[in-house]
Structure formats: structure tokens, C-alpha cells
Structure 1
């Protein structure tokens, strides 16, 4: 599977859209995650999470075979109980928030 050129991406478990200015304002109060170039690492999202990429590039390869490239101004929502491997390609800063029940709706 090749990298997606269209920034809109959606499956039943993963959504990626371009972050609007309103989305960035909403995410401004979320928790910051920063990472330099590190070894790929495994993740298991046991609850829904949304994050807004403020800088950098990376890729998540999910165990179901989905490959999601992420870059600055992407807004991503991942539904619970999915595993994968994160690879940071360029140092990243993300603002993220876990959802206790349902992920935020994605505007299409």
C-alpha cells in the first residue's frame, strides 16, 4: 500500500482530515506530545484518541494492514482497540486528547 496523497482518509476505525483553524483552536488546550527521531514503537489504543499534528511527519502501520502517513495540519481520530507501530520520520509535535466514550465526529 502506498502513502496517501489525499489528506482525507477514512476507515471504520481511523479517520484523517485536514485540520481547520477551528480544530486547531479546539486542540490548543490538549496534551502536547513531542518526539524526535526515535526507533519505531508499538502502540495499542485501548480508547479512542484524536490528535492534531502541529509539526513533523510520521507513519502508523496498523496490525490490520492499514498504513497511515501523518504530517503537519492533519487531524486524526483513532477508535479503540487497535494496535500498530509508530515511526517518526521528522521530529513531531502533536496535541492529543483521549475520549472516554465516542471519538469526536469528523466533518466531511
Structure 2
């Protein structure tokens, strides 16, 4: 089944057939949710924000280890980005978490935010 081999890819559900054989497509289709994913800031769906783009949409491998790991939500420590390894800097909290990657400043999210 198809799976994007790159860090960036325009979002097209056909390219994510492997992912969607287990995960609901709506996880990246709905901009607002309080139920589809825990990766949200209040009701702002952060999977949608990162993945659902016509240009430079992040693929699953941009943050997740696709073959499982011992980390929460299979979040990588670092990801191949060009010729270097970019740190993710993920920290889990009780109601969300934060990331401090090489691509943007530290950002936090809180699922319980109103």
C-alpha cells in the first residue's frame, strides 16, 4: 500500500493508504476536533495543520517512527532532513505536550484548552 517516502508531500489520501488501513482519514481532514486525535490545541487539530497542505505537507515520517518505538506516540528523537538529522524535541505532558524541533521554535499544545 502507498506511503509517502519523503518528509514533505502534498496531501492526497491515496498516498496514505498504508496509514489509513489503521488510522481514520478524518485525523488529517478535519481542522477542528475534540475527539479524533490527542494532537490538538483545544479543538485545533494539529495533524490537519501539519499534514493537510497542497505544498510542503509533512508526512507521517516527519514526526513518527513508522515501525514502532518505545517513545510516546512513536514520536522520533530526530528525523532525516536533507543531509542532517533534525531533532524533534518532543516532551509529553498530562494534557498535551511540546516540541522544540529544528524547523520552528518550541511550541506547546494543550488538549483541554478552551
Give the TM-score band, short-chain normalised.
Answer: under 0.3
Structure exhibiting the larger radius of gyration computed from Cα positions = 2
**Higher strand residue share:** 1
TM-score, structure 1 normalization: 0.26
Higher helix residue share: 2
RCO higher in structure (CA 8 A, sep ≥6): 1
TM-score if structure 2 supplies the norm length? 0.25
